[in-house]
Structure 1
Amino acid sequence: MGNLYEYFSAADDEEAAAALGRKGWTQDRGARTLAVKGIDPAVQIGRLEELLTGRPYAQITADPRFARRIGPSWADRGVVTLTDTLTRALAAGEESDLAQVTVDWSQIAEFDGQADPMDLAEFLFELSAIAARASERGHRLYCRWSR
């Protein structure tokens, strides 16, 4: 069945961690989330960041905000941070540049040849809009996941 991932912004780690275990939390705070299956916040988003920024993957994974778990620790759900470098790159991304990146991103080994660049482009445009709003408000990006 796979994990469900919900990408969102929050003012800080404490606010983001509060998202864990609360139903309807996004409506309560007027936040926009992007729910998706099959695009995990570590490897696949890390590879996206590599393509968007040119940062080597090893440098991305060494970033203290790379997929760092925050809040309570449960086996079936959690919240992780996304890097500020990714947030900035997404917020500044032009739609044509993002569309081009999705072609290369769709071909990474972690998608096992099953990713449609058009579907990834739609995801990326929405995530870019969330990142742009987060940047305007001084917020950061996060991902809530559940099994």
Structure 2
Amino acid sequence: MGVLTDYFIARDHQDAARAHGSPTGPKRAGFKTAEWKSLDPVVTMATLHEVMTGQNEFKPPDSTVAGTDKDEHWVFRVYDDHFATLADLPEERLGDVAAKWVTTEEMNDWPLDDARQALSELVALAREARSSGAHLYCWVSL
């Protein structure tokens, strides 16, 4: 089945933690959500950030908002620089970035159209979150 990764908008950590209480994801908890498999908020997002900026900035996963090692799902805050880079990505770069992203090891099984759609949804969520003073989070489920 794969790892489920739902990106969503929340006001803050406390608000985002409500998604942890929903075993079927943040959308069912009322959050605006983009649902994709295997777009983890650490490695895959770091790879995307590198494609967009040319900077290799892998960070250890210290952004846990909710969940423990005994859980099967968690909520993470998307790193501020990844969030900002997504929100700032110009529309005219979506195709180019998606084309480079699918050549990475983390995305090598993804069709280009799916990667472009995922990127487009992530960018839209990041822009909406920024404009509303909120942030981007990721719900991960095994």
Question: Is the contact between residue 10 and residue 141 of structure 1 (CA under 8 Å) also seen in structure 2?
Answer: yes
Question: Is the contact between residue 42 and residue 67 of structure 1 (CA under 8 Å) also seen in structure 2?
Answer: no
Partner of 2:65: 70
Partner of 1:138: 133
Partner of 2:120: 125
Determine whether 1:110 maps to 2:116. Answer: no
Identity %: 30
Partner of 2:96: 100
Question: Is the contact between residue 17 and residue 71 of structure 1 (CA under 8 Å) also seen in structure 2?
Answer: yes
Partner of 2:77: 81
**Structure 2: unaligned runs, 5 residues or longer:** none
SS of equivalent to 1:51: helix
Q: CA deviation at 1:25?
A: 5.3
Q: How many residues align?
A: 140
- After TM superposition, the runs of 4+ consecutive aligned structure 1 residues lying more than 3 A away are 23-29
Partner of 1:2: 2
Distance 1:95 1:67, change over 3 A: farther
**Structure 1: unaligned runs, 5 residues or longer:** none
Query: What is the CA–CA distance in structure 2 between the aligned matches of 1:67 and 1:81, rounded to whole Å?
Result: 9
- Residues 57-96 of structure 1 show CA distances to partners (whole Å, capped at 9, x for unaligned) of 24xx16xxx5621123143110111111122221121222
Distance 1:57 1:24, change over 3 A: closer
The TM-score with structure 1 as length reference comes to 0.84
The TM-score with structure 2 as length reference comes to 0.87
